[in-house]
């Protein structure tokens, strides 16, 4: 076969061959998820089970959680988790540093979120106070003091009939620990408190 004819046949054969995509030099690494949930994963749930876990609000507004901006999330965790007893349910880290954490109250479903404040951001929260209720108020406060935490007002009866203690978290956010007891929302107590405020 002449050289020219051989070249034409070779070109036709090469043209018919499927072209394989070039392999990348290195395999791309899967991106690491930034948000790490420490809650145990449960097996896949049916649609009915999933719907049942979503709180029924009948289209009404529900309160979800309070966000607390802090200078150091790890330090705030040592206060809310280790001293106050909150349970860590979500932990978000950026390059190994905690920047967000979600915690559940030890005696209920209420949650708070700790969020890293931006550089130079003000954490002043005048007009906002966090309220946590505990039956054994005196004992709870004693335990905080034994761990070296300063309480600005030890438990005492307030004019509205509830016992309160006051303290600040490490970022200066004001907290009230209280127990309402038998006087919870009693109209007579509230009326007496209003009268005392006027006098």
Q: The CATH number of the domain where 108 resides is what?
A: 3.30.720.120
Mean of pLDDT over the chain: 78
- DSSP letter, residue 46: P
Residue 51 within any structural domain of the chain: no
| Final residue before a domain boundary, out of 74, 98, 118 | 118
Per-residue pLDDT, 6: 44
Interval 186-192 mean pLDDT: 71
Residue 94 within any structural domain of the chain: yes
Residues 103 and 134 in one domain: no
Interval 123-143 mean pLDDT: 92
| Final residue before a domain boundary, out of 118, 149, 181 | 118
Q: Among residues of the chain, what percentage have pLDDT more than 90? A: 51
| Final residue before a domain boundary, out of 51, 86, 118 | 118
Per-residue pLDDT, 105: 96
CA dihedral 156, 157, 160, 166 (to 10 degrees): 10
Residue 153 within any structural domain of the chain: yes
Residues 107 and 167 in one domain: no
Whether residue 16 is predicted with pLDDT greater than 50 in this model: the reply is no
Residues 109 and 174 in one domain: no
What does the pLDDT look like over 172-183, one tens digit per residue?
999 999 999 888
CATH of the domain at 163: 3.30.720.110
Per-residue pLDDT, 54: 59
Give the span between the Cα atoms of 41 and 46, in whole angstroms. Answer: 15
Length of the chain: 199
The vertex-106 CA angle with 39 and 168, nearest 5°, equals 115
Residue 123: count of CB within 10 angstroms of its CB: 13
CA nearest 117: which of 160, 158, 73?
73
pTM to 2 decimal places: 0.66
Whether residue 36 is predicted with pLDDT greater than 50 in this model: the reply is no
Q: Which domain holds residue 169?
A: 128-199
Residue 140 within any structural domain of the chain: yes
Residues 136 and 196 in one domain: yes
What does the pLDDT look like over 45-104, one tens digit per residue?
445 444 445 566 678 998 889 999 999 999 999 999 999 999 999 999 999 999 999 999
Residue 23 within any structural domain of the chain: no
Total domains in the fold of the chain: 2
Residue 187 within any structural domain of the chain: yes
Per-residue pLDDT, 63: 87
């Amino acid at each position: 076969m002449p050289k020219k004819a051989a070249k034409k046949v070779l070109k036709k054969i090469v043209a018919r061959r499927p072209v394989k995509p070039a392999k990348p030099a290195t395999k791309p690494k899967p991106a690491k998820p930034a948000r790490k949930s420490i809650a145990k994963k449960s097996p896949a749930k049916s649609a009915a089970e999933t719907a049942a876990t979503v709180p029924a609000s009948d289209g009404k507004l529900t309160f979800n959680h309070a966000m607390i901006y802090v200078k150091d999330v790890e330090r705030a965790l040592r206060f809310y988790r280790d001293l106050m007893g909150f349970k860590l349910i979500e932990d978000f880290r950026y390059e190994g540093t905690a920047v967000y954490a979600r915690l559940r109250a030890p005696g209920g479903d209420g949650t708070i979120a700790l969020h890293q404040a931006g550089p130079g951001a003000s954490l002043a929260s005048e007009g906002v106070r966090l309220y946590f209720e505990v039956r054994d108020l005196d004992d709870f406060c004693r335990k905080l003091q034994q761990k070296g935490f300063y309480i600005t007002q030890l438990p005492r009866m307030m004019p509205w009939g509830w016992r309160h203690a006051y303290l600040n978290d490490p970022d200066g956010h004001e907290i009230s620990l209280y127990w309402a007891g038998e006087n919870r929302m009693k109209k007579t107590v509230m009326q007496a408190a209003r009268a005392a405020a006027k006098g």
